[in-house]
Structure 1
């Protein structure tokens, strides 16, 4: 199957060059021009896709060969480009420096890098260069990146943080001699900086109207500083892709009964891959959202609960104050209701977080840590659970600045060589620091939905009395 999809990858020589701002602004500018834009992010990051989603009006999606396998990268790109409606162009934001990949002994250098993904999806690259502290040297930098790997085609440069008209002229002249077209030059604009904290940018769900305003300003700046027509011509130069879009319906077997699965959302739980919920729906579940900051009970007929990542440490006092929902979650777990929690979800299910009482479902105490834990993990399930059969092998990632004491229960959730046993399996609960992209292991969604169908939430006494 041959598919025509104009597409471009935005990369940078290193982190901190401003590629998220430029990518988000480009998505917003193209969307404002009337195009349907499919936004994507290389790597496991959850926060940048939130800004992309605001800019595009559709989910931001990740392309990560480590999490889903190389063979699924193109199908997932095509899936995102047709969901919820066909896109006119796809914009893919890279991760770290162009050639910086996964640091894991099981893969070759550069695996999972922006260059790797650009080669997989056969897309031209726009290099975002922080020009704030350089002039003619920019030509040597860009020349090196353009010639380092013949499989990667750098089709142009966007200069970021340009200081003046004179500065821009020097940069353009140098790059003209190097034979690399300049597609845009963006001035230093402190007003467009997005706030950050211990895990990176502040998620859009926590900034609400402010985040929307920032995305609009980014779109306006890029529209006025970047040649959008040139970017589109470059995107349309990408060759046709061969393959079929990923389809969650083909990955799982639908079960009868339509169990209702609540997924934690709201400002405290903003990390999640769109494909996870799509797989649960394809497996026959009804997926609903619960906000642990505001909702005082799980939705009626909730059979299972998924609590993904986020920033509960920022909202610990408010989460603790919602004792009614904490008690409802604990009751669900006590009667064997399936609960899948990862990272922030583990913190919420713990006894306490930074001294604030949490749900008390798993016997661990959690708190902020002095250092960041970050990296890819290859894990195996030492025992069966509602999420994974014993012996299941998965690839995930850790991304947190908290710690749990103890870090594993009598029956751990996962085992990997770096730390040994990790997480908790007890009854219908599976809680761990490991983040997973279920498109890379769709059997997890099917197994969890099946467990939820087998464990229905009882109808409240007062509801039965009025039947």
Structure 2
């Protein structure tokens, strides 16, 4: 039986969804509820904040990259929870445009499938009654998707709140909260989004402040009562592990790996052996596969270049056993990394890749990849779906391509990844095998 759920969404990015999500998770946990968080879309960072807020691992749900069966299996992680709450990405209806005009990967897709009513967070700064037109448009755009109500964010004054509420009343849109403007409640950001949860200097206190803020200015009882959902099957399997014993880099430079993958690997009996390159730790000598996730190696390039034990252990492993890197991990497997100031740092040299963060260019989007060589137990020919998001530029990529890669529209992508001997790497983060 699924827990009833809600989707916390918004008309656009930057409206305050994460503040509301974290405050709501903590406040409901303080009230004694077991709350299961989810994140709509391929965001790498938000799930760690969710876990910090409520103590339960948060899982990504993605209607473009995942089959319906996999989504149902991941949602089944809510077994034993009183309530499921998902945080949307971008705007509620934003996804990959198809020729039929429907969105794929949109938060609305998941809310519709799961029967989760939407709580719409609206930034009302600079408008009053007109905010109701926005809310009404979202409510009517898809009559099959219930809008439970709105939380008004960045309210300027009591008079401003009265005017906005009057418009919502005229439109028949319930107001579930009105949050005054508070500049001190924002989380620090960098080029890929929020600064990672592990780097926040006092995250627990910040989340406690969000919870108190929600208690003072939102109707938590009405929000809880709005939750609903449909029963879905959850008997499917999570993606299988790429090896039995996996040495997994885990620290501030290597942290972007999807929680459902780790859960699936553990459930299948894989042994995950964490190590920290930034602490100059070598991967376990008995590992079958070394996996370097994405993260922020460009911020720690000097430390990585000086991590002699890590680099020597990585090279020993690569002599006869597989090593794979995703995005930031891929960059570290290369010959060199150029930081934002133009400084060149020698990396592992297991691939010929040279990347530059000084020549910034955003690469963002879903990826479909057909492997041309194995990645651990993932055989050549395996089709994968994933996501790419980075600002690095390739200066040199002399090795054979790892995969044939296309974007969500089927257009070829130049960043094919690389392979040399037992070493493979790609800029895309694997989410799931393609259907």
What's the counterpart of residue 458 of structure 1?
A: none
Aligned partner (choices 211, 218, 225) of residue 226 of structure 1: 218
Q: Which runs of 5+ in 1 are unaligned?
A: 443-467
Are 1:61 and 2:50 an aligned pair? no
Q: 1:179 to 1:75 in 2, by over 3 A?
A: same
SS of residue in 1 equivalent to 2:394 = strand
Q: How well do the aligned residues superpose, as a CA RMSD in angstroms?
A: 2.1
Q: 1:146 to 1:253 in 2, by over 3 A?
A: closer
What's the counterpart of residue 432 of structure 1?
A: 426
Are 1:273 and 2:273 an aligned pair? no
Using the alignment, how far apart are the partners of 1:285 and 1:239 within structure 2? 33
1:66-115 CA distances to partner (integer Å, 9 max, x unpaired)? 22123322321122x13xxx211111011111111124x57853111111
What's the counterpart of residue 213 of structure 1?
A: 205
What's the counterpart of residue 78 of structure 1?
A: 76
Deviation at 1:260, TM superposition (A): 2.7
Check conservation: 1:73, 1:121, Cα contact below 8 A: no
Are 1:160 and 2:153 an aligned pair? yes
Using the alignment, how far apart are the partners of 1:279 and 1:187 within structure 2? 42
Q: 1:329 to 1:108 in 2, by over 3 A?
A: farther
Q: 1:309 to 1:107 in 2, by over 3 A?
A: farther
Using the alignment, how far apart are the partners of 1:138 and 1:97 within structure 2? 15
Check conservation: 1:73, 1:120, Cα contact below 8 A: no
Deviation at 1:382, TM superposition (A): 2.5
SS of residue in 2 equivalent to 1:183 = strand
TM-score (norm 2): 0.92
Using the alignment, how far apart are the partners of 1:408 and 1:284 within structure 2? 37
What's the counterpart of residue 175 of structure 1?
A: 168
What's the counterpart of residue 340 of structure 1?
A: 324
Are 1:331 and 2:321 an aligned pair? no
Deviation at 1:15, TM superposition (A): 1.0
Deviation at 1:154, TM superposition (A): 0.3
Deviation at 1:343, TM superposition (A): 0.3
Check conservation: 1:162, 1:188, Cα contact below 8 A: yes
Deviation at 1:247, TM superposition (A): 4.3
What's the counterpart of residue 460 of structure 1?
A: none
1:336-378 CA distances to partner (integer Å, 9 max, x unpaired)? 2221211011011111111111111111111113221001122
Q: 1:126 to 1:411 in 2, by over 3 A?
A: closer
Q: Which runs of 5+ in 2 are unaligned?
A: 339-343
Using the alignment, how far apart are the partners of 1:51 and 1:329 within structure 2? 30
Using the alignment, how far apart are the partners of 1:50 and 1:64 within structure 2? 17
Check conservation: 1:386, 1:430, Cα contact below 8 A: no
SS of residue in 1 equivalent to 2:169 = helix
Using the alignment, how far apart are the partners of 2:64 and 2:12 within structure 1? 20
Check conservation: 1:346, 1:433, Cα contact below 8 A: yes
Deviation at 1:319, TM superposition (A): 1.5
Q: 1:322 to 1:196 in 2, by over 3 A?
A: same
Using the alignment, how far apart are the partners of 1:106 and 1:21 within structure 2? 35
TM-score (norm 1): 0.86
Are 1:186 and 2:179 an aligned pair? yes
Aligned partner (choices 370, 378, 400) of residue 410 of structure 1: 400
Check conservation: 2:242, 2:378, Cα contact below 8 A: no
SS of residue in 1 equivalent to 2:104 = coil
1:248-293 CA distances to partner (integer Å, 9 max, x unpaired)? 4xx65999xxx43111111111211112222322333211211111
Are 1:98 and 2:103 an aligned pair? no
1:323-345 CA distances to partner (integer Å, 9 max, x unpaired)? 211111111112x2221211011
Using the alignment, how far apart are the partners of 1:333 and 1:300 within structure 2? 11
What's the counterpart of residue 371 of structure 1?
A: 361
Deviation at 1:429, TM superposition (A): 1.9
Deviation at 1:427, TM superposition (A): 2.4
Deviation at 1:299, TM superposition (A): 3.0
Matches within 5 A, 1:2-401: 3-79=1-77, 81-82=78-79, 86-103=80-97, 108-207=101-200, 209-235=201-227, 238-248=228-238, 252=240, 259-334=244-319, 336-354=320-338, 355-368=344-357, 369-401=359-391
Deviation at 1:412, TM superposition (A): 2.8
The structure richer in helix per residue is 1
Check conservation: 1:131, 1:161, Cα contact below 8 A: yes
1:379-432 CA distances to partner (integer Å, 9 max, x unpaired)? 212334435323222221110001223346224334334334611122222210
Q: 1:408 to 1:88 in 2, by over 3 A?
A: farther
Q: 1:426 to 1:386 in 2, by over 3 A?
A: farther
Q: 1:126 to 1:385 in 2, by over 3 A?
A: closer
What's the counterpart of residue 462 of structure 1?
A: none
